[in-house]
């Protein structure tokens, strides 16, 4: 089971910052999940919300600031000054860092609350420029964005994100649109949903699981990935588990 660091190592470091990504990598995460939006000057930037208020020392919509203006803000709402000054990374900065590392990336297109002009196109363009097409997947709550990504670059796998309520017959939906993964909220996941995905050959990455009870459940279900704020905890648990299971 793959360990996917949710917004980087966000349990301990400011979410969606280069620091959180570097720490997730050091913690042994197999993959990093990050959220992409567009700045006023159409630069793909890594931040979860459409506005900066929840995480940064500022206020307003991401789309109302140029990338240079966004660099003035410190992502310090959760941890204060403990981790120094952390900026909103550009997607390009992330790709430059990730390019030669043995880690994959789950790029979540944040197009569910505000539909940015050409977010999918800009992201794909940048992935091509950095030759990262084979080392990423897409996910989104806006399934139209995934279908657009499939038109642009069919070889990149896509994950259908849903909230706790999930999507009935998700396995069929994903397979019908050639979307390889289902990414449900753990709180709504049941044996039936898992079976429905298996019936259609759809892989499962589940968010957000931060404790061993949840990990055990995903492991027993045979899920492909756990999306977690605590990648080290998950990695340690899995290493111990697989050591036990194989008798080493």
Show which residues are catalytic.
Answer: 6, 48
Q: From the list ligand G3P, Mg ion, none, which binds 16 (C-beta under 5 to 8 Å, kind-based)?
A: none
Closest CA to 21 of 35, 1, 5: 5
> Which CB atom, from 31 or from 35, has the smaller least distance to Mg ion?
35
Q: From the list ligand G3P, Mg ion, none, which binds 161 (C-beta under 5 to 8 Å, kind-based)?
A: ligand G3P
Minimum CB distance to ligand G3P, residue 27 (Å) = 17
Nearest-angstrom CA–CA distance, 119 and 46: 12
Q: What is the per-residue binding string for Mg ion in 76-115, x denoting contact by CB under 5 A?
A: --------------------------------x-------
| Cβ–Cβ under 8 Å, residues 70 and 45 | yes
| Cβ–Cβ under 8 Å, residues 226 and 205 | yes
* Three-state DSSP state, 123: helix
Residue ranges binding ligand G3P (CB under 6 A)? 6, 33, 35, 48, 108, 139, 161, 183, 207, 227
188 secondary structure, DSSP code = G
Minimum CB distance to Mg ion, residue 51 (Å) = 16
Q: What is the per-residue binding string for Mg ion in 34-73, x denoting contact by CB under 5 A?
A: -x--------------------------------------
* Backbone angles phi and psi of 192, in degrees to 5: -65, -40
> Which CB atom, from 66 or from 197, has the smaller least distance to ligand G3P?
197
Nearest-angstrom CA–CA distance, 148 and 136: 16
> Which CB atom, from 68 or from 113, has the smaller least distance to ligand G3P?
113
| Cβ–Cβ under 8 Å, residues 208 and 231 | no
State which H helix or E strand residue 216 sits in: helix 212-221
> Which CB atom, from 37 or from 74, has the smaller least distance to ligand G3P?
37
Question: Is residue 15 part of the contact set for Mg ion (CB under 5 A)?
Answer: no
| Cβ–Cβ under 8 Å, residues 45 and 37 | yes
Q: From the list ligand G3P, Mg ion, none, which binds 230 (C-beta under 5 to 8 Å, kind-based)?
A: none
Site for Mg ion in 21-40 (CB under 5 A): 35
Other Cβ atoms less than 10 A from the Cβ of 22: the count is 16
Measured N-to-C along each axis, helices 91-98 and 119-129 cross at an angle, to the nearest 10 degrees, of: 30
Minimum CB distance to ligand G3P, residue 115 (Å) = 16
Q: What does the binding site for Mg ion look like in residue numbers (CB under 5 A)?
A: 35, 108
């Amino acid at each position: 089971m793959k360990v996917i660091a949710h917004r980087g190592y966000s349990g301990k470091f400011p979410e969606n910052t280069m620091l959180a990504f570097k720490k997730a990598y050091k913690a042994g995460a197999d993959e990093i999940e990050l959220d992409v939006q567009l700045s006023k000057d159409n630069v793909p930037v890594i931040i979860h919300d459409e506005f900066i208020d929840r995480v940064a020392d500022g206020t307003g919509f991401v789309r109302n600031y140029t990338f240079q203006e966004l660099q003035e803000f410190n992502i310090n709402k959760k941890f204060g000054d403990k981790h120094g000054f952390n900026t909103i990374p550009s997607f390009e900065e992330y790709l430059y860092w990730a390019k030669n590392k043995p880690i994959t990336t789950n790029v979540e297109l944040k197009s569910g609350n505000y539909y940015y002009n050409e977010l999918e196109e800009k992201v794909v363009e940048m992935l091509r420029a950095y030759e990262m097409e084979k080392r990423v997947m897409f996910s989104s709550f806006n399934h139209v964005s995934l279908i657009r990504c499939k038109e642009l670059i069919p070889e990149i796998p896509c994950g259908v994100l849903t909230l706790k309520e999930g999507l009935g017959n998700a396995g069929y939906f994903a397979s019908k649109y050639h979307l390889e993964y289902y990414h449900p909220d753990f709180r709504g996941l049941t044996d039936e949903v898992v079976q429905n995905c298996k019936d259609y050959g759809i892989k499962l990455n589940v968010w957000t699981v931060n404790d061993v009870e949840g990990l055990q459940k995903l492991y027993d279900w045979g899920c492909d990935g756990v999306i977690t704020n605590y990648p080290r905890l998950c990695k340690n648990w899995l290493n111990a588990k697989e050591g036990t299971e194989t008798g080493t």
